[in-house]
Each structure stands twice: as structure tokens, then as C-alpha cells.
A and B are shown apart, each in its own frame.
Chain A
Amino acid sequence: MLSALLLLAAALFVFHFAAPKKAGAAAKITVDNQTVATLPLSKNTTYKVETAVGYNLVVIENGRAFVREADCKNQICVKSRAIARAGESIVCLPHKMTVSIVGGEPPAVDFVV
């Protein structure tokens, strides 16, 4: 009984201190300047952004974010580079949608051109 409790306490102790204390960088998705989702870059995932005029399929893969697919006219978001560093962004003008990297280390630069 005692050893079981001790084990449990030890397990909880280890779990508590091993658990991540700070979230890393994330991809913030906004539609017309309103945040619709913030996805941690540490977890591979696919997120479908539904806007009034169409959709964008945002993919998080190996610490980078990019738009895999969209039904916008110009496809500039789909052709945009994958982003991973604070301050970088991908924009879809027709859908007024932006994916930008936030959090993690403080933004190293104000803009990337």
C-alpha cells in the first residue's frame, strides 16, 4: 500500500516536472483581422479555414505552416513559402485570411519582405 502510494507520488512528481512549461511558436489564423484559430507548430495537423467567400486548407507539418489548398482565385496563398519564424506570414487577399507565426521567441523582425 505504502510503496504503491510512493510510486504514484513519484510518477506524478516526474510527470509534473517533465511536462512542457511553455508553449512554443504557433500559427495564428485570422479572417478579416479576427482570430479563428491558433495552432501550435509542434503538432502536425490540418485545419480548414471557412470564410464567407471560400476555404483555405492550412497545414502544420514538421514545425512549419503552409496553405495546401484553397478555392481562391489567385492561389497566391497556396504558392507561398512555408513559414516557421515569428513575424512571417501567408496571406490570402480574396479570403481576407492571414496565417502568421506568433509566440515562441520574441519576433526577431517586424516585417519580412
Chain B
Amino acid sequence: MKKTLCLLLCAVLCGVLLCGCAEKPQTETSAVVSVDSEVSVDPGPGRYEETYYDLFDTECTFIAFTESETEFHEISDKLHEYLLTYHKLYDIYNDYEGLNNMRALNMAAGTEPMIVDGKILDLLELGKRAYEVSGGKVNIAYGTVLSQWHTMQRVADEDNVYVLPNEDTLKECATHTNINDVVIDRENSTAFIKDAATKLNVGATGKGYAAPKGCESANALGAPSGALNMGGNVCTIGVKQDDGAKWSVGIADPDGNGYIEAVEVADKCVVTSGDYERYFEVEGERYCHLIDPATNYPARTFRSTTVIGDDAGLCDALSTALFLLSLDEGKQLIENTDGVEAFWILADGSTAQSSGFAALAVNKNDESGE
């Protein structure tokens, strides 16, 4: 009797121990994943993503559903190359040998027209449209003022020196921001800045122009379902291939607790302008990168503004415009523009939304995913 009991206990013990052993690797791999477990077998059809770190001075992430990992990387590498051509053309800080880019155009201000790539002419035309739509709040010819602020941001980041631009200098710079001094000549494929002191800055329009072009390119390269996030400009291709769901985009809580609202889109773009990623502080005051041409200082009404629509270039310009306008002016602008919706987070943390925004919003009760 005693013996059988002992045997039984041993069996139970062994069972428990074996069970424990069998389950251990599972918990370990999910808790601490090591790289060496990577095997060179293609996982096959699925969702893949890659981040590019060298585009438009911001992080860009590409997601796509492809038949294999190899196929994904083929598309992703070509997309990266494609976006790099836009990056170089729209770069106002660096020279590239033999390339007449935005920086070259700025350097040639006040001299003579320069032959440029059609992609530059397209962007300049979008810039003029953005100026009109935003009532002058979004101005590609505002570069001279923006470079003053950019310098202070760089000094803050790199040297930990926190200073503001000189007010008189800002005023003087602001006299060289006339959009009509930017001359586009389609016939001769040239562009020209008439005033030597006027400089272009395409920060508010460049990514918005390139993002949908990137999506088109990825689609043509063989991705029927994907999304591209270029530093807050999200463009999407179709619906998600695995479950047919739309792409979901969260609008960040500016104080860092995930997102406070989320929208679902397919073949649309979502663009957010916010004060919480690029800024510096002087005497406890926050100075973000979104400068109001009316004051030459950062706008303070909102923490972030988001625009959802079909045309990424327009959405990019509109989200910047909303950040710089009052809530009433912004609401009017959105309601008078076809096919766009908007979401505002105000300085006090309260929110506002356009009349059709609710139809795009994700039902909060479904968020848990259970």
C-alpha cells in the first residue's frame, strides 16, 4: 500500500515537473527574445514593416502585407530608393552633386531661374495652393524666419543653450516672405526666387507630397495593402489584407499616455501637427516648430491638430494651418473644404472635432480587442 502510494506520488511529481519543463521555453521566448533564434527561412505571407531613418529628418515606417518576407524587402528597398529621390530634391540643408534641389534653388535666390526636376515644380505649385487655402498661414516662402527658429532649436538640442531669436531680426526676416517672389515656369521647367533674401522651406508640405507618391509606388511595386507613416503623415493603400479591417491611427495624447482618440481609414491619409515632438524651452515656456506668420512666434492655442482626407498634400497643409488659426477659423476652413475632417487638442487638454469626424472615429468600447 505504502509502495503504491509512493509510486503514485512519484508519477504525479514527474508529471508536474515534465509539464513545467514543457511550458518553460514558451514563456521564456516570449519574455526575452534573442536574435540568434532567427533562421533564414522565409515566414511566408504576412504583415511586415520597416523603418527608414534617413528621410525628411523624421522617422518613416512602411507596413505591407506581402506573399513573403523576401517580397516585402524587395518592395521596401525600392520604395526607400524612391523616397530618397524626393528627400534629396526637397532638402534645404544639404547639397548633392549634380542635383538642383531646394537648397540650390535657395542659394540661387535673386540671381536667375534654375532648371529643376518636375517634382520640385509640383511641390512649389502645391505650396502656392496651400498658401491660398490657408489664407497665408502656410507659406513655403517663409524660410528666412523659420531658419532663425531652426537655428535656436539646433543650439538647444546640440549645445544645451536655450535662447530665443532676436525680435527685430525676426521682423526684418518677415519682410522677405512674399510668395509671389517664387516664380514657377512650367514651359521652361524652371523655378526662381526673385528676392535674394527670400528662402523656401517646405517642411509643412514636402512630406505630405511625398507620402502618397510613396504609397502609389509601393502599390505599383506589388503591395496591394499597406501604409506609410512619414513623421506624422500616414497614407494608406486599401484595407488590411489579413482581416479586411481598415487601418487604425491613434491621435497621440500630447502628455504621453498612448492616444486619446483613434480613427479608421482606407485609401485615406491622416496628418497630425503637434507641439510635443519638436520644441525647446526657455524659462519654462515651450517653443514648438510651428511658427505663426502673424506674430513670427510659435502658436500656442493647440497641443495638436489632425486632418483626415484623400489628398495628403492638402491634409498636411491644412493640419499646419489649423494649428496656427483659431478654433473658429479652423472649423470654418474644414467645413468649407470638401472631403476633410479634423480633430483639435487644445492647450488646456480639451478637444474639438469637425462635424463628420465621429463617423471615422473608432468606437472606444472595441479598443480592448477582446
Chain A residues in the interface with B (C-beta under 8 A): 2, 5-6, 8-9, 12-13, 16, 19-23, 26, 28, 30, 32-36, 38-40, 73-76, 79-85, 87-88, 91, 93, 96, 98, 103, 105-106, 108-113
The secondary-structure label for the interface of chain B is: mixed
Stretch at the interface among B81-89, B249-257, B332-340: B249-257
Tell me whether A6 and B234 are in contact (CB under 8 A).
Answer: no
Q: How large is the interface on B (under 10, 10 to 19, 20 to 34, 35 or more residues)?
A: 35 or more
Tell me whether A88 and B258 are in contact (CB under 8 A).
Answer: yes
Residue of A nearest to B251 (CB): A113
Complex-state Cα separation, A22 to B17, whole angstroms: 18
**CB<8 Å pairs between A and B, sample of 30:** A2-B9, A5-B13, A9-B13, A16-B16, A16-B19, A23-B27, A26-B33, A30-B51, A36-B35, A76-B157, A80-B277, A81-B276, A83-B256, A84-B258, A91-B59, A93-B54, A96-B53, A98-B51, A103-B30, A109-B248, A109-B250, A110-B227, A111-B229, A111-B249, A111-B250, A112-B250, A112-B251, A113-B229, A113-B250, A113-B251
Tell me whether A111 and B234 are in contact (CB under 8 A).
Answer: yes
Tell me whether A113 and B27 are in contact (CB under 8 A).
Answer: no
C-beta contact mask, B139-176 vs A, less than 8 Å → 1, else 0? Answer: 00000000000000000011000000000000000000
**New contact pairs (16) apart from A22-B27, A110-B249, CB-CB < 8 Å:** A5-B9, A12-B17, A16-B19, A19-B27, A26-B31, A26-B33, A74-B157, A76-B157, A76-B278, A80-B277, A82-B256, A108-B368, A110-B63, A111-B248, A112-B250, A113-B250
Most chain B CB within 10 A, of A13, A21, A36, A91, is at A91
Tell me whether A108 and B250 are in contact (CB under 8 A).
Answer: yes
Distance in angstroms from A29 CB to nearest chain B CB is 11
Tell me whether A113 and B9 are in contact (CB under 8 A).
Answer: no
B99 CB within 8 Å of chain A:
no
Chain B residues in the interface with A (C-beta under 8 A): 2, 5-6, 9, 12-13, 16-17, 19-20, 23, 27, 30-33, 35, 50-51, 53-54, 57-59, 61, 63, 157-158, 227, 229, 232, 234, 240, 247-252, 255-259, 262, 270-272, 276-279, 306, 362, 367-370
Q: Which residues of A contact B252 (CB under 8 A)?
A: 81, 112-113
Tell me whether B255 and A81 are in contact (CB under 8 A).
Answer: yes
Distance in angstroms from A22 CB to nearest chain B CB is 7
Tell me whether A85 and B258 are in contact (CB under 8 A).
Answer: yes
Q: Which residues of A contact B9 (CB under 8 A)?
A: 2, 5-6, 9
Residue of B nearest to A97 (CB): B53
Q: A16-B19, A36-B35, A106-B369 are in contact. Are A2 and B256 (CB under 8 A)?
A: no
